[in-house]
Amino acid sequence: MKRPIRILLQTTIPTREDDWHIGRFSLLAEHLSGLRDREGHVLCEVTARDRETNADGDDRVLSRLDATRFDELWLFAVDTGDGLTVSDCQGITRFRQRGGGLLSTRDHEDLGSSLCTLGGVGRAHFFHSQHQDPDETRHVRDDQETKDISWPNYHSGSNGDYQPVTPARPVHELLRHDSSPSGHIEYFPAHPHEGGVGVPEGESHARVVATGTSQVTKRPFNLIVAFEQEQDGHGHQLGRAVAESSFHHFVDYNWDTSMGCPSFVAEPPGDQVRREPERLEDVKTYVRNLALWLAG
**∠ CA 42-251-211 to the nearest 5 degrees?**
95
Predicted confidence at residue 266, as pLDDT, reads 92
Q: Is the dihedral of CA 165, 106, 21, 177 positive or negative?
A: positive
- Give the per-residue pLDDT at 194: 98
Nearest CA-CA partner of 280 in 212, 187, 210: 187
* Mean pLDDT, rounded, of the chain: 96
Domain count, the chain: 1
In this structure, are residues 213 and 219 in contact, taking their beta carbons and an 8 Å threshold? Answer: yes
| SS3 assignment, position 88 | helix
The pLDDT > 90 percentage for the chain reads 95
Q: Identify the pLDDT of residue 188.
A: 98
pLDDT digits (tens, 9 = 90+) for 143-181: 999 999 999 999 999 999 999 999 999 999 999 999 999
Domain range holding 49? 5-294
**What confidence score (pLDDT) does residue 14 get?**
98
CATH number at residue 196: 3.40.50
**What is the end-to-end Cα distance of the chain in Å, rounded?**
17
> pLDDT tens digit string along 76-130?
999 999 999 999 999 999 999 999 999 999 999 999 999 999 988 999 999 999 9
CA distance 86 to 232: 20
pLDDT by residue (tens digit) across 189-209? 999 999 999 999 999 999 999
Tens of pLDDT, residue by residue over 204-236, are: 999 999 999 999 999 999 999 999 998 888 888
Cβ 113 vs Cβ 106: under 8 Å: yes
Burial class (CB in 10 A: 0-12, 13-18, 19+), 66: middle
Residue 240 pLDDT > 90, yes or no? Answer: yes
In this predicted structure, the answer to whether residue 12 has a pLDDT above a threshold of 80 is yes
pLDDT for 92 = 98
The residue count for the chain: 296
Please report, rounded to a whole number, the percentage of residues in the chain having pLDDT higher than 70.
Answer: 100
| Predicted pLDDT at 205 | 94
**Whether this model's pTM surpasses 0.85:** yes
- 1 pLDDT exceeds 70? no
